Structure 1
Amino acid sequence: MQRLIIADGSDIVRKVGKRILSELNFDVLEAPSARDALRACQTELPQVMIIDAGLEGAIDLITNVRAMPEGKEVKIYYCVVEADLKTMMAGKRAGASDFLQKPFDRKILTKIFSDNPIAA
């Protein structure tokens, strides 16, 4: 089972994401802050992360994960509310693998994570 961390300040976003992704056979951990997500990564690095661009310390979190041994192997989705080029480029420079637009739903997550080799 693939390990996935959702780092988002919204309880609802984390809970909905966890419910959907758990059904897709991911072991999902919730992190309400960048600090909590980093702590979880230091304990056991996940294969996938969904990091909200609006989370305080999101860019530092990506940079710190990438600096860890094996950190370059983590698939990091930088979650943006709108396709804002400045925000997206900051995420990409920090090391985000891809982008995920909010709000996401079951259809979007199922398409991304069922069609993706990491979910296999």
Structure 2
Amino acid sequence: MKHCLVVDDSSVIRKVARRILEDMDFSISEAEDGQQALDACRESMPDAILLDWNMPVMDGLEFLHKLREEEGGEKPLVVFCTTENDVSHIAKAVRAGANEYIMKPFDRDIIEAKFQEVGLI
């Protein structure tokens, strides 16, 4: 079973993502901010990360930069999931190492399509 780390400061978003991803046969862990996510990755590197941009403590972009510097940090497929929709944000995410980008609100069809595009399902 593949493992996905859901990183978002909103408990509602994490809960919705968890339900969708568990239905897609992923095991799930959660983090409320980038620092918690980095700590979780250092403990056990996930196969995929669904990542919010705007969070307290450490935002998604800073987390992604730090993740990619970690041993094994190049392996997880990272899908940014955010309300930030301008081209400059998308370009920054891709340059930092994001594999895909989806907008909130999302549903199962959107997550499933993006995870298929990056080869997770």
Shared topology, TM-score over 0.5? yes
User: Is there any run of 5+ residues in structure 1 with no aligned partner, and where?
Assistant: none
Q: Which residue of 2 aligns with 1:96?
A: 98
Q: Runs of at least 4 residues of structure 1 off by over 2 A? A: 110-117
CA distance in 2, matches of 1:96, 1:11: 23
Measure how far apart 1:112 and its partner are.
2.8
Percent identity between the two aligned chains: 29
Q: Is 26-35 or 88-97 further displaced after alignment?
A: 88-97
Q: Is the 8 A contact 1:80 1:88 kept in 2?
A: no
Q: Is the 8 A contact 2:47 2:77 kept in 1?
A: yes
**Counterpart of 2:81 in 1: which secondary structure?**
strand
Q: Which residue of 1 aligns with 2:44?
A: 44
Q: Which residue of 2 aligns with 1:118?
A: 120
Cα RMSD of the aligned pairs, angstroms, is: 1.6
Q: Which residue of 1 aligns with 2:6?
A: 6
The structure richer in helix per residue is 1
TM-score, with length taken from structure 2: 0.88
Measure how far apart 1:26 and its partner are.
0.6
- Indicate the structure whose relative CO is greater, using CA pairs within 8 Å and at least 6 residues apart: 1
Measure how far apart 1:28 and its partner are.
0.8
What is the aligned residue count?
A: 119
